[in-house]
Structures are given as structure tokens and as C-alpha cells.
Structure 1
Amino acid sequence: PTHFFDISPFPHQSDILEQLAVERSAHQRFRNLVVAATGTGKTLISAFDFARFVKDKPQAKFLFVAHREEILKQARSAYRGVLRNGAFGELWVGGHTPEHYRQLFVSIQTLNNQLEQLNLTADYYDYIVIDEVHHIAASSYRAVLEYFSPTILLGLTATPERHDGGDILADFGGVIAAEIRLPEAINRRHLCPFQYFAIDDDTDLRNIAWSRGRYDIAQLTNLYTHNQARFDKILLSMQ
């Protein structure tokens, strides 16, 4: 048998959950953006919120969208713990294929590639979570947002401000429903203080292709991950 710990929200998580409830009951806003610093438990907040939702709608269909398999696996574990249901949710990423689509943790790449073939109605999912929602300005996320019309859309991010100037608030009624930023999280002792140490690694980006306001991702990745001279300099600086 599967054994579960009793999981309860921390005070700052309870505050955010209450703010979400007010957004929906008082302001009738059901597309909600939560901004929470990394380490404050964004995924657990969404799991507690869904647990409330599913009490009133036990057969609710659920979709959790992220861009990495590791995030999806961790999220499913969090939801199973909060819901005390070891069978909750299927993965659709990498080599994982779901048997049904009622409770799904899926990569944005997979969902985009299969969206038309799924032939789901716009309101098929009652509750949708978009993790790392600052990515929604990208075309891959636009297709999903424009296709589905859930009862609840919950966006999670630690960094709502995009470097390219893209506006994610427009998809959430121009409102951040609830937030706990990094300075507040540190001041409230939810996170440890930290220091940054930086060095100049002499990496030259002049030969990297630039297109549509950004560097070529494949070339950039190769430059940073296959650069022994850069690795050596970093290690030397740490000694």
C-alpha cells in the first residue's frame, strides 16, 4: 500500500490560496497568475488549490503543462501527495504515453505536436496549470492557450518580467493574483540569503547567429556546454 505524509500549506502558501479564492469569488477572475520565488512551493500551491477545486467537482479533468520531464515528474509526485492518491495523473513526455487524458502532466512540445490529433473540445479540461508561465509569449504556448477554455487557468512563475519585453499579464486580465517575491521570501525566512560570485569567462558570442531578437539556441548551447577553456577558467576561479 502507498503511505502518505500529512501535507499542509505553509502560512505564505495559505495566504496565496486565500488570495486566489478572493480573485474568483469576489472579482470573477478565473485566469490567475501566481508569482512566487523559486523555493517557496509554487507547485504545491497549485496542488492545494486544485485539491479545493476537486472537492466540488470530483470528476474534474486536469492538465499540467511544463517544458521539462523532470518538472513534470516532480509535479505529479507533489499532486499525488497532496491529494493522497498514488494513481493520480499520467505522464506524457519522453517515453511515457498515457492511457487516458483525464489527468495529464504533459510537456509543451508533446502537447503542441499532438493537439489537433487529440480532437478534444475547448472545455475538455476543467483546470489547467501552466508552469514557468513566462514562456507563454512563445508561439508553442500560444497555441495551447488559444485552444483550451478551462474553468480555471493557473499560471505559475518566479519571473514574470521577460527580457524581450513580452507581456504575460494580458492573458490574466492584467492582474497578478498573488505573489511572494524573492526579497519578501528571504525576509520572512522562507529562503536563505545568498551571494552571487561572477567572473568574466571570455565567451565570445560574435559568431553566434542572431535571428528574431535572440541568439540561435543550438549554437548557444553548444558554445556553453562544449567549451573546455571556459570550464577550466570557472574551476580555477573557484579554487
Structure 2
Amino acid sequence: MQLRPYQEGARQAVHHEWAQGNNKTLLVLPTGTGKTIVFAKITEDCVRSGKRVLIMAHRGELLEQAADKIKKATGLTCSVEKAEASCLGSWYRVIVGSVQTLTREKRLKRFSQNYFDVIIVDEAHHCISDSYQHVLQYFTQANVLGVTATPDRGDMRDLGSYFNSLAYEYTLPKAIKEGYLCKIKAQTIPLKLDLTGVGMQSGDFKAGDLGTALDPYLEQIAGEMSNYCLNRKTVVFLPLIATSQKFCELLNENGFKAAEVNGNSTDRTEILQDFDQGKYNVLCNSMLLTEGWDCPSVDCVIVLRPTKIRSLYCQMIGRGTRLFQGKEELLLLDFLWMTERHELCRPAHLIAGSEEIAQKMTEKIESSPLPLELEEAEKQATEDVIAAREEALAKRLAEMKKRKRRLVDPLQFEMSIQSEDLSNYVPAFGWEMGPPSEKQTQSLEKLGILPDEIDNAGKAAKLLDRLDKRRTEGLTTPKQIRFLESRGFQHVGTWEFNHAKKLIDRIAGNGWHVPSGITPGEYRPGGELIG
């Protein structure tokens, strides 16, 4: 099987991390981009080098899918460690194992601590739980790969307490831009749903409270849906089975062909097949379909189980992001959620690089009378946020002028080179969260960056890497940026080093005044020859 370019990049990156001694590494791929295929190929690589691999998950369906895709992608057969089935005595070198089975002390002790050379954790956002940790801490000599669809680094702070590196991250916007996932549009329904009385449990909203809070609105929601998705294939996520069943009945009363599935449904397989084949156009569920189920023809997702956990939100939306013939985009129907908490996940959080941009995107989506494409909303929101930052930066630069600092403020550098990844950086792993080392501080100062404003080692490392890369690419230095921008030139960070040097030499030759004929605010490199 030929891997896509990003899949091959991910495969190589994981092996590189292990070779560098980072034995617990993460792979982040959005739902629908083939994460199982990637770790199947990594598994094949390991088996070819004589290693024994454990693939661990928390649900039987995920284990079955992993075994099936490994067989199809590599030809390797898996043995099973689950319930009565055991891999001990099997000559197969790939084992799919249930965490519920392996975490039992008696079962675990049947293995030597070096029995597995590699452990792959599917849906790795679960691996911080006690059951996973009990198994992982037993097989301490194994290289570990965690695979997750978590959409951003901020969600990985908890994962950073166990994993020591991020091998590879493929983002949702990039997957959409490169044509591997469909475009996403969001439409806010002008219906205010009050969640202010909903309590919290295990870091998220209580499902029971959510069911009670939603109940008075279900009829209105069903009515609103008839305005947007009668001709779409829709999946609705709800907090409780009773709520899901009631909503299904209301949808059928409003002209839909709706079905409902839950953990107790004896005809679940038949219903899912009928939905896939078009017998139903809406499928209601109480969080059953967040993992291990794919139906590429889904083109509308409605989350009526609000959450603050982005990995969970991403899993729900991921049910509709796959490509399908004739499918133009995925439509997300959102509501005006009234909550005292600001961390509620909304469509904007799928692609926004920061909470600041997500809030601005949400404002734009809510004010738009038509569905708004997320990429377009993100672009507009980013421009607004950058404009606000530049205004704040101008005030800081005015203060800096008075102090005549010889070093560049990191924010000025980030804005000048137009680097969102630096501006939105959030430390995730243990070493990144600590203060910058003395060596990092000295290196930054030597290269012209004021180190006082950098409060963690991860940001310092990222800045130093960027500075080294810019030097290799022949781009402007921080000192050139500070000097020219203090004279009113804009975004000098995007210029070439030699162009900036010639302009500075020309200004120096003119008694440190900008030559006549050059208007700094309008000046663009290449607009005139500098001799």
C-alpha cells in the first residue's frame, strides 16, 4: 500500500524519535486521515526488525479494526489478548490487546516486563487514565507510540506529562487544503440554550444535567433542523439515551427519516447499514459513535452534547470530515450556548491556533446569516487579531523607543516575520514548561532577542531554531528588524538579509536619515534598486 506524503513523513518521524532516545512519542493525525494505516506500517517496520508489538485500545471495535487494517495493509496477522483469548504461545509478533484485560494484575504478571518491544496506544488521549498507566508502567523498556486526533497542542498538556516528544502533527486545515478531507462550514442557529445550571464531572459537563437542560429546547431544535438539513445525511450527538430517543421521535414528526442507536440496541449493525445506504437521513446517538465508526457520506453533524474536551469534540465532528463522491462540504449546526464557562468547544476550535482567534471566529460565525467556511472565518479572524496585536505592538515600540533598547522584543520579532506558530506557542511537554536555560538566554541575547519576555524553555528553543533557519535562508536578523522598523518600515522580518543590509548602509551614508524618495510605511523590498 502506497502511503500519502504526510503518512510517510509521520512514519519516518516516529522512527527518528525512537532512534533519538525519545521512547515515548506522539503522533497527531485528524480523524479520517488514516492514522491506523500509518501505525500499521510502523508495526510492519518493527516486525521486520524482529520486534514484538502490542497495539492497545479500550474498545473491542477499535482492536478489531486495527487487526483488520494491519492485515490488509501489511499482510500481518494479529493475535489477541482479550477476555479468554491470549497471545502467549502464539508465534505472531503483533498483538492487539484490551486495556481492560491487560490491567488485571494476574493477567499482567503472566508477561515478562520486556515481553513487548513496542507499544502503540490507539486513541492516545485516553492513556493518562490509571488503567493504561498501570500497563505502560509495567512494560517500561518498550518504545511507546501514542496516536491521537487531538486538534491542537493546548489539548496535549496532560499527554505531555507522560510522552516526551511530538513526532509528527498533521493539522485539520492542512488536510482540508491538500484535499484529503472535505471543507467544513458552520452555521449558528439563533436559538439560545441555557447551560448555566449544568454541573461538572471528571473535567466535563455532567451528562445527566445536560439532558435536563436540553429537554425544553428539543422541539425547537428539531424545527430549526428542517430549515437546514432535510436534504442532508446528519449525525446528532446527545448526552443521554433517553434524550436521544426522544429527539429521534421529534425529528420523525418534523419530516425526517430518523433512527436511534445506543449501547443496548440489539439491531445496531442493521440500523448503521440502513443509514449508510440511505434508508434514514438522521442518526441520533448518545455518544456511541465518537470512535470506531465511519460513514463517509455524512455531510452534517450536530453536537447536542456540548463539551469542553477538544479531543472528544474533534472525534464527533470527525464523523463527517471524510471525502465522498458528490459531497461538497460538511455542515456543522451550532447554537447560541449560554454558559458561565468560556471553555465550551465550538466549531472554531477545530482549526483556530489560539483561543483569541477562536473567539473572534465564533463572533463572525454567529453574525453570519449564511453558513461560513471555517477556513475563511479563520483567515478573517486572524487578520483582525493581527491588526489588534500590531496596534498593541505599536504602543510597546513607542515605549521601547524611549528606553532605546538594543534588543528586539520577541513579540515584535514574531509579528515582523508573521509567525503564527511562535505567537500561539503553548508548551506541552515537561522540559518545555521549565524556564529557559542560561545557555538559551545567552544565545537569544547574542542574536538580538530580549530574553526577559520568554518564560519557558520550549519557546526559547523554538525561537533559536527559527533564528538558525532564517540565517540559513538568508533572511533579516532581529537587529536589522529593530533598526528598520524603528524608522517606520513594515514587516522587515519578511525581507532578505542582503536587501536590509544595503538599505541600512544607504541610511547610514545619509547621516542615519531615511533618504528622500523613500516612504518607510509604503516601502516594499524590490520596489527600487539599492546600490
Alignment of 1:214-229 (within 5 A): 214=204, 224-227=240-243, 228-229=245-246
One of 68, 90, 105 as aligned partner of 2:79: 90
Shift of 1:61: 2.0
Alignment of 1:108-123 (within 5 A): 108-112=99-103, 114-119=104-109, 120-123=111-114
Alignment of 1:127-166 (within 5 A): 127-159=118-150
Shift of 1:164: 8.7
Q: Say whether the 8 Å CA contact 1:134–1:162 is kept in structure 2.
A: no
Please name the residue that 1:231 is paired with.
248
Please name the residue that 1:10 is paired with.
4
Q: Say whether the 8 Å CA contact 1:128–1:152 is kept in structure 2.
A: yes
Shift of 1:16: 0.9
Shift of 1:66: 0.8
Q: Measure the CA separation in 2 of the matches of 1:104 and 1:53.
A: 13
Q: Measure the CA separation in 1 of the matches of 2:29 and 2:148.
A: 6
Q: Note closer, same or farther for the CA distance 1:204–1:65 as it changes in structure 2 (3 Å cut).
A: same
SS in 2 for 1:38: coil
The answer for unaligned runs of 5 or more in structure 1 is 1-6
Please name the residue that 1:180 is paired with.
170
Q: Note closer, same or farther for the CA distance 1:64–1:165 as it changes in structure 2 (3 Å cut).
A: closer
Matched residue count: 224
Please name the residue that 2:181 is paired with.
191
SS in 1 for 2:162: helix
SS in 1 for 2:176: helix
Q: Say whether the 8 Å CA contact 2:113–2:138 is kept in structure 1.
A: yes
The answer for unaligned runs of 5 or more in structure 2 is 212-237, 258-531
SS in 1 for 2:247: helix
Larger radius of gyration: 2
Is 1:75 matched up with 2:63? no
One of 16, 24, 30 as aligned partner of 1:31: 24
- Counterpart amino acid of residue 85 in structure 2: T
- CA RMSD across the alignment: 3.3
- Counterpart amino acid of residue 225 in structure 1: I
Q: Say whether the 8 Å CA contact 1:137–1:166 is kept in structure 2.
A: no
Q: Note closer, same or farther for the CA distance 1:187–1:229 as it changes in structure 2 (3 Å cut).
A: same
Shift of 1:108: 1.7
Is 1:51 matched up with 2:47? no
Shift of 1:140: 1.7
| Identity within the alignment, % | 28
Map Cα deviations across residues 82-118 of structure 1 (whole Å, 9 max, x no partner).
3313xx212344x662353653212222222x34334
Shift of 1:203: 9.2
Map Cα deviations across residues 26-62 of structure 1 (whole Å, 9 max, x no partner).
x3222220000011111111111121122221xx222
Shift of 1:137: 2.1
Query: Could you say which structure has the greater relative contact order, defined with CA pairs below 8 angstroms and 6 or more residues apart?
Result: 1
Q: Measure the CA separation in 2 of the matches of 1:109 and 1:21.
A: 28
Q: Say whether the 8 Å CA contact 1:203–1:230 is kept in structure 2.
A: no
Shift of 1:122: 1.9
- Counterpart amino acid of residue 74 in structure 2: L
- My pick for the range that moved more, 15-24 or 124-133, is 15-24
Shift of 1:65: 0.8
- Counterpart amino acid of residue 246 in structure 2: A
Shift of 1:21: 2.7
